[in-house]
Amino acid sequence: MKTTQEPNANLVGQQMEKTYSPTATEKKWYEFWESRGYFKPIADNGKAPFVVIMPPPNVNGALHMGHALTMSVEDAFVRWHRMLGEPVLWLPGSDHAGINGELVVEKEVARTEHKTKRELGREEFLKRVWQWMDDYREVINNQLRVLGVSADWSRQAFTMDLGPQQAVRTTFKKLYDEGLIYQAERIINWCPGSQSNLSDLEVEMKEEDGFLWYIRYPVVGEEGRYITVATTRPETMLGDTAVAVHPKDARYADLHGKLLTLPLVGRQIPVVADEGVEEFGTGAVKVTPAHDPLDFEIGQRHQLPLINVLNLDASINENGGIYQGLDRFEARKRIVADLDAAGFLVKTEPYHHNVPYSERAHVPIEPMVSKQWWVKIQPLSEPALQAYLDGRIKFVPERFGKTYQDWMENIHDWTISRQLWWGHRIPVWYCVNGHQWATDQETETTCQICSTNEIWQDPDVLDTWFSSGLWPFSTLGWPDQTEDLRRFYPGSLMETSYDIIFFWVARMIMFGIHVMGDVPFHTVYLHGLIRDEKGQKMSKSKGNGIDPLEAMAQYGADALRFTLLTSSGPGVDTKFSLQKTEDSRNFANKIWNATRFIVMSLNPNIRLEGFESLQARLSELPLADRWIISRLNKLTADVTRLLENYDLSQSGKLLYDYIWGDFCDWYIEASKMRLNSPDPQTKAAVQAVLTGVLERTLRLLHPFMPSLTEEVWHYLPHEGEALIVAVWPSAGPIDTEAVTQFEALKEAISEIRNAKAEVKAETNRKVKAIIVAKPEFKPIFEREADILVRLAGVDANTLQITDQLDTPPTQALTKVTENTATTIYLPMAGLVDLDAERARLGKEIEEVRREIERSKANLAKPGFVERAPAQVVATAREKLAAAQERLAKLEAHLATLV
RNA sequence: GGGUAGUUAGCUCAGUUGGUAGAGCACCACGCUUACACCGUGGCUGUCAGGGGUUCGAGUCCCUUACUACCCACCA
């Protein structure tokens, strides 16, 4: 990619706009990061590399919210680890999407060229698919860049690249030679839409209202005697080769081995006794071994013939007699009508049942007998299960481990051949002399067994998930023993959506262990689905999807990312709304303006004290400074711990609360007095804290909002050339005394603001105030009077701070703070309605009394004092004492209002 | 038929190892205080789905019921 003009590495001293504009900024920094090579892993430095292989988006359209979530989560972890100084590899790619891709291009060809793929021919059709893939891959990659994805594009991979193709053939050959890939004729899920075999996972059950038709089959040689069977698919009777009953079912005991005449067809079929039949309903089932899984098994047990009555497009074939050529649903109608006319239809019942559908082509599946390729799964699944059981693979959230385990324990062989054109061609060859072999070569010229050159390749392709399963190592160059493979396998984190645990995660683990001898990653983080405001799945057909590109254009990529990351935790579905994105945009703007405020007062020529130095002499700093730095250290520890536990949501929220609440609402406001000081040293001292604290906070926030933080960081004094490679902060000391004292100050300020609001005094009106603090807090209020004056809006000249007041004012609003029992009088002649004040005090006294009652009752409860931990009892006692003190003060004050 | 989640303020969701419920939005009031109206200050709102149990103490642990969502499953 060509880089445009490099941004100013140092923006210190530059003017900032009043409002943050994300789009241009995001683009600028993305190009900067990429051009500097920050997305590439640094050289080995003794630290274990952090490796994430990106789930390759399907190349069949544009980016959607699910992608945006995936990328936001992965980018956050990736950026965090990069700041931890680890060699980080985030390997991007894209997926050819097998059946899905083929269908999309088929549709496109039909739309633009009015041709079916068969009319076009295999070679021509594949040309079209490649063109489509090339076009859309670029589109998607650019969209990922807009999001801020810090992946190493130089290692980008595509499942149909030559490397992954080699990996597919090599793996196939290995499994084939080991006898783990084999061919077998079985009943399979046939999709008439794509005209291909599907695995069980690609079939979804849909509840539907249908009918149950009861049909009677006459017993040969016993005039007037019938067996009645019920079916939801009457057209399959054309392929019936028996009727089965339970061996112990008395109703049919004498009919075992007798023959029935198949209505409409006239064929004679036997009655067989089989344990697989339940004794409910009519107790007899028609047996169509070629078109039903259960019937297939019954057929095997009784050596029944298979009669396939369907063509590949699910129309009736030549075995269907007069119904030949009809579509399956048309045939169904005709057969029911004919049965009815001939007197074989006993009754028709409405019936609610599950119908198997093709997940991709959205048409009902037809079970059919067919010869396909299979993977013998047990030898792969057992070690994969074991890896989970002994903790080599962990799931976040943990419960998905159980899901994985259940599936692995009940797994069936996996059918991997697809009758499609787009995908990895099955590397099996045949010769005229009936030989068959698998190869890891792209092409073959002679039979490996008899050397004839009359050979051909299997026409089918592989299930798209076969190549996906190799992704963690095929992307690193395997089967070649590359340097990347050595450094980055096994990987660290696999992050994806929980709905592809079986499709993808399980297969990667199986292949990883079997082919590479080691698990492909140690942690599987599964995110939830993005839904609309009403909790519905976003989908193109419903039209309720929110386009991430539009959301980003409106509010910025950082805002979208922050929203997605904080809206919900792993494994939990998220209701997405643009309102939330707007809130995140506001947060971004808040940070922008906080920086702007700080930067405006800065003199670039004055070097401020560094943060490390400030922290080293923490106890000498003013109260507010000690407080905000202590809070930052708490935040740093919390955010780090939460990230270690994969909790992005909670860490994002803590950052939000700290920045907006602690830093902006309290610290910046409290700093304004010192910032306006005529003394340059006082000013520089507070500037050092403002810039130092903000700079560290930006580092913590960078994984969540990379572009904004990078931009703003460059306006502040900083070391290093970019925030993206700045060092992740470690937590320093916490001054608990300062925290307690500053909280007392905050509490008093809030009470004063509250009192003023109650009498609807203008917020900015300076009021007279008398503070009666307990002796240990009195010096704090005196020392920090400036802050009190500024933040509470009290009149500095008349402010009185004491620990003893003999004659309290009568014409005053009065508050007693909850935690420190500081009494505050706001003498406001004229504004105080004595009756209202008495009423208000009365109400408050009631509340405190109730609290005291509860507290006392709790302490008096048998067993509490004896059994509860001493710490808890002590806290309860302190609370009670505080409430009692507060009550006394409130009552004393009420008494003066008579 | 099995299984897994969820049910907390009007809405969206937090609630770490059980200690007596919180944040944003919305709403109401006041405010253009020299970063931000994409703002500030203050306020309002809860039988933490129902029932039972364990415990000195349960939104948090156990049992149970209801509803919602999803996953798995070859009942004609």
pLDDT of residue A2: 31
* CA distances, A592 to each of A660, A710, A727 (Å): 12, 11, 22
Among all protein residues, pick the one whose CA is nearest to the C1' atom of B6: A572
Gap between the Cα atoms of A859 and A865, Å rounded: 7
Gap between the Cα atoms of A3 and A830, Å rounded: 68
Residue-wise pLDDT for A850-864, tens only, equals 888 888 888 888 788
pLDDT of residue A59: 72
Residue-wise pLDDT for A186-227, tens only, equals 999 999 998 999 999 999 998 888 899 999 999 998 888 999
pLDDT of residue A893: 83
What's the mean pLDDT in A827-839?
76
Residue-wise pLDDT for A692-718, tens only, equals 999 999 999 999 999 999 999 999 999
For A536 and B6, how far is CA from C1' in angstroms?
15
- Report chain A's terminal Cα–Cα distance, integer Å: 81
Does residue A469 surpass a pLDDT of 90?
yes
Residue recorded with tokens 């923490």 = A618
Residue-wise pLDDT for A221-230, tens only, equals 888 899 999 9
The DSSP code for A58 is: B
pLDDT of residue A1: 32
- Give the pairing of strands A770-772 and A800-802: parallel
Contact in structure between A226 and A258 (CB atoms under 8 Å):
no
Gap between the Cα atoms of A472 and A486, Å rounded: 12
For A89 and B39, how far is CA from C1' in angstroms?
41
User: Which residues make Cβ contacts (< 8 Å) with residue A372, sequence separation at least 6?
Assistant: A183, A184, A185, A186, A188, A197, A415, A416, A417
- Locate A278 and state its tokens: 């339940």
Alpha-carbon dihedral A826, A827, A831, A837, rounded to 10 degrees: 70
In sequence order, the β-bridge partners of residue A523 are A394, A493
For residue A339, give the nearest of A242, A259, A251, A230 by alpha carbon: A230
For A645 and B51, how far is CA from C1' in angstroms?
36
Beta strands in A513-561 (DSSP E): 523-527, 530-531
ipTM of the complex, rounded to two decimals: 0.95
Distance of CA A790 to the CA centre of its chain: 45
Among all protein residues, pick the one whose CA is nearest to the C1' atom of B57: A864
Residue-wise pLDDT for A80-90, tens only, equals 999 999 999 99
Does residue A181 surpass a pLDDT of 50?
yes
For A385 and B52, how far is CA from C1' in angstroms?
39
pLDDT of residue A834: 77
Q: In the sheet that A366-375 helps form, which strands lie side by side, from edge to edge?
A: A196-198, A181-191, A366-375, A414-415
Gap between the Cα atoms of A638 and A652, Å rounded: 11
Gap between the Cα atoms of A558 and A704, Å rounded: 7
What's the mean pLDDT in A645-665?
95
H or E segment to which residue A366 belongs: strand A366-375
Does residue A832 surpass a pLDDT of 80?
no
Considering all nucleic acid strands, name the nucleotide whose C1' atom is nearest to the C-alpha of residue A649: B14
Q: What is the mean pLDDT of chain A?
A: 91
Reported as a pLDDT band with limits 50, 70 and 90, residue A9 is low
For residue A513, give the nearest of A398, A375, A385 by alpha carbon: A385
Reported as a pLDDT band with limits 50, 70 and 90, residue A10 is low
Residue-wise pLDDT for A719-777, tens only, equals 899 999 999 999 999 999 999 999 999 999 999 998 888 877 666 678 889 999 999 99
Does residue A805 surpass a pLDDT of 80?
yes
Helix, coil or strand: residue A562: helix
Considering all nucleic acid strands, name the nucleotide whose C1' atom is nearest to the C-alpha of residue A236: B76
For A731 and B7, how far is CA from C1' in angstroms?
38
Looking at per-residue confidence, does A898 or A147 come out higher? A147
Share of chain A above pLDDT 70, in %: 97
For A323 and B2, how far is CA from C1' in angstroms?
41
* CA distances, A59 to each of A12, A14, A90, A417, A545 (Å): 43, 43, 19, 21, 18
Gap between the Cα atoms of A805 and A771, Å rounded: 9
Considering all nucleic acid strands, name the nucleotide whose C1' atom is nearest to the C-alpha of residue A207: B73
For A659 and B17, how far is CA from C1' in angstroms?
28
User: Which residues make Cβ contacts (< 8 Å) with residue A655, sequence separation at least 6?
Assistant: A635, A639, A697, A700, A701, A704
A98: alpha, beta or left? (left if phi > 0; alpha if psi -120 to 50): left
Q: In the sheet that A203-218 helps form, which strands lie side by side, from edge to edge?
A: A226-231, A203-218, A345-358
Residue-wise pLDDT for A234-278, tens only, equals 999 999 999 999 888 888 888 888 999 999 999 999 999 998 887
Query: What is the pTM for the complete model shown?
Result: 0.93
Q: What angle do CA A633, A638, A643 make, to 5 degrees?
A: 130
Nucleotides of B under 7 A from a protein CB: 3-5, 12-15, 19-20, 23-25, 29-43, 55-57, 69, 71-76
pLDDT of residue A15: 83
What's the mean pLDDT in A32-38?
96
Among all protein residues, pick the one whose CA is nearest to the C1' atom of B56: A864
Beta strands in A192-305 (DSSP E): 196-198, 203-218, 226-231, 242-245, 259-261, 268-273, 284-287
The DSSP code for A775 is: T
pLDDT of residue A829: 66
Among all protein residues, pick the one whose CA is nearest to the C1' atom of B14: A650
